[in-house]
Amino acid sequence: MERFLVTGGARLAGTVQVAGAKNSVLKLMAASLLAEGTTVITNCPEILDVPLMADVLRGLGCAVETGGERVSITTPAELSFHADFPAAGRLRASVCVLGPLMGRCRQARVALPGGDAIGSRPLDMHQSGLRALGADMSIEHGRVVGRAAKLHGAWIGLDFPSVGATENILMAASLADGATVIDNAAREPEIIDLALMLGQMGARIEGAGTATITIEGVDTLHPATHRTVGDRVVGGTWAYAAAITRGSVRVEGVDPVYMTAPLERLTQAGAQIEPEDDAVTVTMPGRPNAVDFITMPYPGFPTDLQPMALALAAVANGNSLITENVFEARFRFVDELIRMGADARTDGHHAAIRGREQLSSAPVWSTDIRAGAGLVLAGLAAEGVTEVHEVMHIDRGYPHFVEDLQKLGGQIQRVGDSGDPLRA
């Protein structure tokens, strides 16, 4: 098992390039199922989840080439509709093949991954949306199963603006008969990105990025070439890393408009923010001031940056209150921060933190992608060498994380069981 050794104290400085968003590219790959032929996706991040998703698509009959920043997917005329264990079970995002399979094959059988460290992730809204389009949906033997004689357009009002449910409905409705309206739809930039690619494939979609999306179903879609939107969560992670280390980092490859809430919180914490078209520079001249955070669906503060907010609060000047509204189990991360000397306690959806001048290094364990990155950020603000375990989580979501951090002056090393450095 690999782990990271993080030595605190260095102020990060320099420029970091952000690749395409994990939470977009996996859905774009799934969308390629909707059209026979070869779809090409560029600005693809080099993360573990991409080859895992490629295996899911291969299991459905696609030929997939990955490597570098380009993925090419050739979808056959006849698709299998069964995304089964073990490939689909390894990746929670594999559930996003459900909508395309229903659209293309009118049936789907998709393995459900096991429990998730960030909290319960039910599929009720995915299923009720597809039911509204005319499908029979059920959970059978650890798989979500859908069947439909035909799909027809419908009005669908979501109870909560679920990202995954919006995406599955969007993809299935693109090949349904007639018009579908999704109300209380998720507004994330990744939804806009998916709708843009579907539009290039011939889908007729309006309103992506707003709470009401209208889809006029078409008979067939054709393949497209699409560039993935920059990863605002990775970009936000580097912005918070700059603030926590009292450094100055230029983050390139992501539109700062998509990072408004995280950057606004950093301004309140005392950072200087210099936005450009596709880049932002974050400079923190001194110890951050304490600020409160409330996670919300986009355009609110993203739950995926909640661990970074907690790490910042742990070293800020004053008291912070952090409220988690999206994934209830995300505060498991606080226990790891407490091992590093953070003065924090949680109560239900809230975490209260009294900032300390400095944290102290400790062995800590990543529980998910974002918690792992948050622990590295905390390690950068800790005295001594922090050992971050279970780093495969970080590799699932952050391309060349160690190398990028080293280039910014961060003291981090990847080591194996023996304790020998694995890479520069």
Number of chain positions touching ligand UD1 (CB under 6 A): 21
Q: Which stretch binds ligand UD1 (CB under 6 A): 104-112, 121-129, 143-151, 269-277?
A: 121-129
Among 68, 77, 86, 120, binds ligand UD1 (CB under 6 A): 120
Q: Give the whole-angstrom CA distance, residue 22 versus residue 356.
A: 33
* Type and span of the H or E element at 414: strand 411-415
Name which of residues 181 to 200 contact ligand UD1 (CB under 6 A). Answer: 186
Site string for ligand UD1, 27-66 (x = CB under 6 A): ----------------------------------------
Q: Which of 422, 340, 322 is nearest to 376 (CA)?
A: 340
Backbone angles phi, psi at 383, to 5 degrees: -80, 130
Q: In the complex, what is the shortest distance from the CB of residue 228 to ligand UD1, in angstroms, rounded to a whole number?
A: 13
Point out which span in 162-170, 196-204, 205-213, 376-384 binds ligand UD1 (CB under 6 A).
162-170
Angle 189-200/22-31 helices, nearest 10 degrees?
A: 30
Residue 327 in contact with ligand UD1, rule: CB under 6 A: yes
Contact 139, 110 (CB under 8 A): no
131 scored as a contact of ligand UD1 (CB under 6 A)? no
Examine residue 170 and tell whether it contacts ligand UD1 (CB under 6 A).
Answer: no
* Residue closer to ligand UD1 (CB basis): 144 or 315: 144
Min dist. Cβ of residue 139 to ligand UD1 (A): 12
- Structural contact between residues 259 and 298, judged by C-beta atoms closer than 8 angstroms: no
The answer to the question of residue 324 lying near ligand UD1 (CB under 6 A) is no
Pairing assessment for the beta strands 37-42 and 82-83 based on DSSP bridges: unpaired
Q: Which residue is nearest to ligand UD1 (CB)?
A: 164
Annotation says 116 is catalytic: yes
If one asks whether residue 419 binds ligand UD1 (CB under 6 A), the answer comes out as no
**Considering the complex, what minimum distance in angstroms separates the CB of residue 396 from ligand UD1?**
10
Residue from 28, 165, 215, 221 in contact with ligand UD1 (CB under 6 A):
165
For the stretch 51-58, contacts whose Cβ atoms lie closer than 8 Å and that sit 24 or more positions apart, written own/partner, are 52/87, 52/90, 52/91, 52/94, 53/26, 53/29, 53/91, 53/93, 53/94, 54/29, 55/87, 55/90, 56/83, 56/87, 56/88, 56/91, 56/94, 56/97, 57/29, 57/30, 57/32, 57/33, 57/97, 58/87
Residues 6+ apart with CB under 8 A from 264: none
Q: What torsion, rounded to 10 degrees, do the Cα atoms 175, 179, 183, 189 define?
A: 50
Q: How far apart are CA 31 and CA 195, in angstroms?
A: 10
CA distance 6 to 167: 37
CA distances for 70 relative to 28, 45, 56, 242, 367, angstroms: 12, 9, 17, 29, 29
Q: Out of 58, 67, 160, 212, name the contact with ligand UD1 by CB under 6 A.
A: 160
Check binding of 138 to ligand UD1 (CB under 6 A).
no
Phi first, then psi: what are they for 391, rounded to 5°?
-75, -5
Q: Which stretch binds ligand UD1 (CB under 6 A): 2-10, 302-310, 360-368, 374-382?
A: 302-310
Catalytic residue among 84, 116, 255, 278: 116
DSSP 189-238: HHHHHHHHHHHHTT-EEE-BTBSEEEEE--S-----EEEPPB-HHHHHHH
Q: Does 367 bind ligand UD1 (CB under 6 A)?
A: no
Among 18, 28, 41, 125, binds ligand UD1 (CB under 6 A): 125
Among 231, 304, 336, 368, binds ligand UD1 (CB under 6 A): 304
Confirm or reject binding of residue 116 to ligand UD1 (CB under 6 A): no
With binding defined as CB under 6 A, does residue 106 bind ligand UD1?
no
CB of 289: closest distance to ligand UD1 in angstroms? 26
Q: Report in angstroms how near the CB of residue 24 gets to ligand UD1 at its nearest.
A: 8
Which of 326, 353, 371, 408 is close enough to bind ligand UD1 by CB under 6 A? 326
One of 124, 136, 264, 276 touching ligand UD1 (CB under 6 A): 124
Q: Would you count residue 348 as binding ligand UD1 (CB under 6 A)? A: no
Instruction: Name residue 146's amino acid.
Output: G
The residue among 56 and 315 lying less far from ligand UD1, judged by its C-beta, is: 56
Distances in whole angstroms, Cα of residue 199 to Cα of each of 223, 225, 272, 287: 11, 11, 38, 46
Kind plus residue range of the DSSP H or E element containing 260: helix 260-268
Active site amino acids = 116
Q: List interacting residues with ligand UD1 (CB under 6 A).
A: 23, 26, 93, 120-126, 160, 162-165, 186, 302-304, 326-327
